[in-house]
Structure 1
Amino acid sequence: MKKWSLLICIVFVAAVLAGCSNGASSKNIKLAYVAWDSEIASTYVVKEVLEKKLDYKVELLQVDAGPMWAGIADGSADAMVAAWLPSTHASYVEKYKADVEDLGPNLDGTKTGLAVPTYMDIAAIDDLKKADTAKSLNNQIIGIEPGAGIMMATEKAMADYGLDSYTLVESSSAAMAQELQKAYDEKRPIVVTGWTPHWMFAKMDLKYLDDPKGAYGGAEQIHTMVRKGLKNDQPSAHLFLDQFEWTPDDMAAVMVEIQGGASPEEAASKWVEDHGDRVNQWLKGTE
């Protein structure tokens, strides 16, 4: 009987220890992101550092913008590095600000708006109202995923500038860029929802249409958002995410590698390997 009691105690202790190892102390992180070229670049670099430098197991959750914010707010995701502020994601901030922790900007110098090839003889959003311009564009503005902040801003811009004859075409970031590239190669007119940093501005001669009414706001930043409680559960991951910041040129370098045929994993790994000093700054104090 004593032997059975001892065996039961050993099994119980082992179960408790196993539970502890899979609980708050386990090094698992869920990163939410939208499949925009810019956010693919940043998210995969963050994943690379978490896995290779801090020994975390990272799960990537590719979602639309709304579910990305909701996931951080309800704790089903741990972090995201894709909050465009103050304008693009203003509605999500208003809805979820009490339920997320803002770690501040990870990138300065972003911009959103309507973009066209420089060979088009128009300069401002108002110019889209010209009958011949509208006809050449088939009365279409090529957009990305519905629910994205830039799509909501574009709907506002269309109302502000009286572009009633236009349709905002919903697609995806990849489909928009593909359509733009095809039109650019054929020197056809096209207008798209654009943002920088993005590889398309490095690969093609593009320009933003002037926005005197400020429908798209001014220059923006990309912020890192984490769920409440991450600092207590995963202090080293929280500190790294808080210290993660880079430049538009850094992000563009990763995007160009991916556009050139590298996988996101390969491009992120190369960038991290080539920028050891920067990565060490992000990791300061995490060990």
Structure 2
Amino acid sequence: MYNMMNKKMSVLLIVVMAIMLGLTGCSSNKNGTGKIKLAYVAWDSEIASTNVVKEVLESKLNYRVEMIQVDAGPMYVGVADGAADAMVAAWLPSTHGEIYYEPNKDKLEDLGANLKGTKLGLVVPAYMDIKSIEDLKKEDVGKLVDYTITGIEPGAGIMTQAELAVKEYDLNKWNVLASSSAAMVKVLQDAYAKQEPIIITGWTPHWMFADMDLKYLEDPKKAFGESEEIHTLVRLGLKEDHPKAYRFLDQFEWTPADMESVMGDITEGMPEEEAAKKWVAANEAKVNKWIAGIE
């Protein structure tokens, strides 16, 4: 009876050891570091940055990465409630500040700016003979574009600011038309090709400024705020759960020119993932700074 129990225990021990070895094998392979979920909005700028972050996490730090495309509001809530681990798309302090960041700031961690020198406002082709948002009060200007400002996704921070601008400047006849980032750019390209008037909600960095001769309308009332920064936000506890990913995200910082390079490749037809891989391969020194100190 004793020998039989010993045999059973030996068999059980072998099974347990095999399971443990199997788990160890999984945790030590390329995908074993863990999984990171990145929330983002489908803006050209955020598509570029999130894909670059994904590429570094996967190719340099051996994480598995899931990109979760959402609208701006759910992006903040997702990081705040832990449904997503991080985002690199927080436009602060004005665009997302009051609406999305402030209600969630105590439930997430702000790692600071990953890109400085952004700008938002109303944008027109350079061939249009207007300089300021104040000029939209002129009836002949309004009639040129049917009193319409072509915008992006409803709920985006820049849309809220555009609606505020309409009120601030008493543009009672004007309408901020919601669409999508891609649809807005398509309407702009079509008008630009025909040298027709158009007014859009625009932001920098964006590849369209390199592709077309555009200008911001002056905003003397500061309805769109001052220059902003794009911040990296992570869920509480990420530092403890994934210290390598946390350190990289904390050290991630690039320039508008970097971002526009990736956006340009995507615009010209290169798949998002390939554009990110190309940029990471071509900027080894900068990427090494991002992952410095990670063992």
Q: Bin the TM-score by the shorter chain.
A: over 0.9
Per the alignment, residue 119 of structure 1 pairs with: 127
1:139 equivalenced with 2:152 (yes/no): no
Match of 1:52 in 2: 59
Quick check: 1:36 aligned with 2:43? Answer: yes
Length, aligned pairs only: 285
CA distance in 2, matches of 1:228, 1:13: 35
CA distance in 1, matches of 2:176, 2:39: 26
Distance 1:185 1:240, change over 3 A: same
Q: Does 1:207 align with 2:215?
A: yes
Which residue of the partner structure matches residue 281 of structure 1? 289
* Structure 1: gaps spanning 5 or more residues: none
Q: TM-score, normalised by structure 2?
A: 0.92
1:84 corresponding residue in structure 2: 91
For residues 263 and 131 of structure 2, what CA distance do their matches in structure 1 show? 27
Deviation at 1:7, TM superposition (A): 3.8
Report if the CA contact (8 A) 2:118-2:228 is conserved. yes
Q: Does 1:216 align with 2:224?
A: yes
What TM-score do you get using the length of structure 1 for normalisation? 0.95
Residue 275 of structure 2: aligned partner: 267
Aligned counterparts of 1:122 and 1:50: Cα–Cα separation in 2: 45
Hey, what does 1:242 align to over in structure 2? 250
| TM-aligned CA deviation for residue 139 of structure 1 | 1.4
Structure 1 residue 255 corresponds to structure 2 residue 260: no
Shift of 1:132: 1.2
Match of 2:221, SS?
Answer: coil
Q: Distance in 1 between matches of 2:112 and 2:261?
A: 23
- Among 158, 161, 185, the alignment partner of 1:153 is 161
Contact 2:33 2:62 in 1 (8 A): no
Q: 2:193 aligns with which of 162, 185, 191?
A: 185
Q: Distance in 1 between matches of 2:235 and 2:33?
A: 17
Structure 1 residue 239, shift from structure 2 partner: 0.3
Q: CA deviation at 1:124?
A: 0.6
Instruction: Supply the distance in 1 between the matched residues of 2:192 and 2:238 (Cα, whole angstroms).
Output: 45
Which stretches in structure 2 are left out of the alignment for 5+ residues? Answer: none
Taking the aligned partners of 1:18 and 1:214, their CA distance within structure 2 comes to 60
Residue 108 of structure 1, aligned match among 116, 136, 139:
116
| Separation in structure 1 between the aligned mates of residue 232 and residue 170 of structure 2, nearest angstrom | 35
Cα displacement (A) at 1:17: 7.4
Where does 1:61-72 land on structure 2 (aligned, <5 Å)?
Answer: 61-72=68-79
Q: Percent identity?
A: 60
Distance in 2 (alpha carbons) for counterparts of 1:87 and 1:150? 9
| AA of the residue aligned to 1:255 | M
Which is worse superposed, 36-45 or 25-34? 25-34
Cα distance, 1:228–1:14 mapped onto 2, change above 3 Å = farther
The residue type paired with residue 79 of structure 1 is A
Whole-angstrom distance in 2 between the partners of 1:29 and 1:17: 24
- Which amino acid letter does the alignment assign opposite residue 111 of structure 1? K
Give the distance between the partners of 2:176 and 2:16, measured in 1 at CA.
61
Q: Whose Rg is larger?
A: 2
Structure 1, residues 231-286: CA drift from partner, whole Å, max 9, x if none? 00000100000000000011111111111111111111111101100000001011
- Give the superposition deviation at 1:168: 1.1
Matched, 1:172 2:180: yes
Name the SS of the counterpart of 2:230 in structure 1: strand
8 Å contact kept, 2:121–2:224: yes
Residue 231 in structure 1 maps to residue 239 in structure 2? yes
Matches of 1:27 and 1:178, distance apart in 2: 39
The Cα of 1:8 is off from its aligned counterpart by 4.0
